[in-house]
Chain A
Amino acid sequence: MAEIGGDEVERVIALARLALSEEEVAGMARDLGAILRHAESLAALDTEGVPPTAHVIPLATPLREDSAVSPLDPEIAVANAPRAAGTAFVVPRVIEGEEEG
Chain B
Amino acid sequence: MSIGVHPDYEVVIGLEVHTQMRTASKLFSPAPVSWGEPPNHCVHPVCLALPGVLPVLNVLAVELAIRAGLATHCTVHEQSVFARKNYFYPDLPKGYQISQYEEPICTGGWLNVPVERDGERELKRIRITRIHMEEDAGKSIHDAAVTGRDATHVDFNRAGVPLLEIVSEPDMRSPEEAVAYLRVLRSVVRYIDVSDGDMEKGNFRCDANVSLRRHGAEEFGTRTELKNLNSFRFIEEAIRAEIERQAELLDDGGRVEQATMAYDPGRRRTRVLRFKENADDYRYFPDPDLVPLVLDASHIERVRATLPELADARATRFQRDFGLSDYEAAVLTASRTFADFFEAVVEAGAGGTAAASWILRDVQRALKDRDLEIEASALRPEALAGLIAMVEGGRTTARSARGLIAELVERGGDPEALVAERGLEAVSDTGTLERVVDEVIAAHPDDVERLRGGEQKVLNFLMGQVMKQTEGKADPGVVRKILAERVG
Contacts and interface: CB of A to CB of B under 8 A. Distances in A.
Nearest to B42: A71
B151 A92 contact: yes
Interface string A58-99: 011111111111111010011000000111111111111111
A71 B48 CA distance: 11
B291 A60 contact: yes
B159 to A, nearest CB: 11
A61 B23 contact: no
Contacts of A71: 31-32, 41-44
Contact of A68 (B33, B88, B150, B286): B33
Contact of A97 (B25, B39, B154, B227): B227
Given A66-B58, A67-B24, A87 B291 contact: no
B288 A55 contact: yes
A91 B24 CA distance: 30
Interface residues of A, number: 40
A61 B62 CA distance: 11
Interface in B281-318: 281, 283, 286, 288, 290-294
A15 B25 CA distance: 32
A38 interface: no
A72 B291 contact: no
Given A63-B62, A87-B41, A68 B30 contact: yes
Contacts of A88: 39-40, 141, 153-155
A76 to B, nearest CB: 10
Contact of A89 (B23, B31, B60, B153): B153
Interface residues of B, number: 55
Interface in B42-74: 42-45, 48, 56-62
B89 interface: yes
Given A54-B288, A69-B31, A71-B31, A61 B294 contact: yes
A42 interface: no
Interface in B154-177: 154-156
A92 B152 contact: yes
A93 B293 contact: no
A56 to B, nearest CB: 10
Contacts of A48: none
A57 interface: yes
Interface string B268-289: 0000011000010101001010
Given A67-B24, A77-B48, A93 B38 contact: no
B294 to A, nearest CB: 4
B357 interface: no
A20 interface: no
Q: Which of A68, A78, A93, A98 has the most CB of B within 10 A?
A: A68
Given A66-B60, A91-B152, A99-B87, A59 B291 contact: yes
B154 A68 contact: no
B90 interface: yes
B274 A64 contact: no
Q: Which of A59, A71, A97 has the most CB of B within 10 A?
A: A71
A23 interface: no
A93 B152 contact: yes
B142 interface: yes
Nearest to A17: B88
A91 B97 CA distance: 20
B88 A74 contact: no
Contacts of B292: 55, 60-61
A63 B151 contact: no
A11 B142 CA distance: 29
Contact of B273 (A11, A85, A91, A97): A97
B411 interface: no
A13 interface: no
B179 to A, nearest CB: 23
A72 to B, nearest CB: 6
A90 B43 contact: no
Nearest to B285: A54
B25 A61 contact: no
B38 A87 contact: yes
A35 interface: no
A100 interface: yes
Contact of B58 (A59, A60, A63, A98): A63
A89 B262 CA distance: 26
A99 B38 contact: no
Contacts of B281: 15
16 contacts: A11-B279, A14-B279, A54-B81, A60-B292, A61-B57, A61-B293, A66-B59, A66-B60, A87-B38, A87-B39, A90-B151, A93-B150, A93-B152, A99-B87, A100-B89, A100-B90
Given A64-B25, A86-B38, A89-B39, 18 more contacts: A15-B283, A55-B291, A61-B57, A64-B30, A64-B57, A66-B59, A66-B60, A66-B61, A68-B25, A69-B30, A69-B31, A71-B32, A71-B42, A72-B45, A74-B41, A78-B40, A94-B152, A100-B88
7 shortest interchain CB distances as A-B pairs: A60-B294, A66-B60, A68-B32, A63-B59, A88-B153, A88-B39, A68-B25
